[in-house]
Amino acid sequence: MNGSAVGIALGVVVASALMVRPAAADCTDPSCPKEVAQAMAASGTRYPLVLSVGLRSLSYEPSSRDRFDGMVQSSPAGYQFTGDALGDSAVRAYGAEVGLDWAFTSFVYAGAAAAWGEGAWSAAPFTVGDLTIDPRATVNAHMWLTGVRAGVRLPLGPLSLRGEMLGGAEWVSLQQYASVGPSTMTATATTVAWLIEPRVAVDLWTTPFTALSVFGTMPGFDSRAANGGVAFAVHLRSFDGRYVGVL
């Protein structure tokens, strides 16, 4: 991913935030559900914190920029290889994500998120020096990611549309076999890669304080590594302070 792509994406987020302006909430007229108006009035002075938990997929797109450090478990031998040795297909895992955000306004928020998952990778055997490397076990890929994120939100009554950007790091661990001649040994290779992950989400408010979301992500702006998930969030401030808004 080049710097211009990152700059354009960050520019879009900032520009979107600047373009957002408050609109009169329709909770002041008879069309607003009574329970919504009551919940918003009762929670207006609470901290605008949002706690979310969810299930999602994670992915790592092999890249020659990343270096894996391998260790043979029954020997002091070590080895290294670049990510593109894993082939062209994304390494995928499935797991969970937790997040904590602060709604600076009803339209702009920022926070942090962490996710982890287990999966499998498969690739043709490749050589590193005297070693031949193969995948090991059925569940042989472990991933963690963590980062900070910022986003914009468009409230549409019981629905919300969101776009956000997460920046952080992803840790990938792969279980492998390392073979020398007739001898085969177990091994593990790991890397840490910087991560830029644009995200979009649709929220359905199930109560004035809880929402169910469907979201998609595209790590490194690479569609081959696209992910998806669902999340459940608890909001201390009802509807983040705005039931309906317009740009």
Tokens matching residue 201:
């989400």
pLDDT at 245: 58
- Where are the strands (E) in 12-125, listed by range? 49-60, 67-72, 78-82, 91-103, 108-120
Mean pLDDT of the chain: 86
pLDDT at residue 111 tops 90: yes
- Please list, residue by residue across 82-119, b when 16 or more beta carbons sit within 10 angstroms of its beta carbon and e when fewer do: ebebbeeebbbbebebebebebebbbbbebebebbbeb
Answer with the residue of higher pLDDT: 73 or 18. 73
pTM reported for the whole predicted model = 0.81
pLDDT of residue 23: 34
CATH architecture of 3-241: Beta Barrel (2.40)
Q: Give exposure, 185-202, as e/b (b: 16+ Cβ within 10 Å).
A: eebbbebebebbbbbebe
Q: Which residue has the higher pLDDT, 239 or 112?
A: 112
Distance CA 97, CA 146 (A): 9
Q: Given a cut of 50, is residue 196 above it in pLDDT?
A: yes
> What pLDDT, on a 0 to 100 scale, did the predictor assign at position 91?
94
pLDDT, residue 33, reads 76
Rounded Cα gap, residues 2 and 233, in angstroms: 33
Instruction: Give the Cα separation of 207 and 141 in Å (integer).
Output: 37
What is the distance between the alpha carbons of residues 4 and 218, in angstroms, rounded to a whole number? 17
Query: Bridge partners of 212?
Result: 204, 232
Choose among 13, 8, 11, 1: nearest CA to 165.
13
Q: Are 41 and 237 in contact (CB under 8 A)?
A: no
Give 136-174 pLDDT, tens digit per residue. 878 899 999 999 999 999 998 899 999 999 999 999 999
Confidence of residue 7 (pLDDT cuts 50, 70, 90): low
Estimate the share of the chain in helix, then strand, then coil, as percent rounded to the nearest 5: 20, 55, 25
Q: Does 10 have pLDDT greater than 70?
A: no
Q: Is the distance from CB of 167 to CB of 147 less than 8 angstroms? A: yes
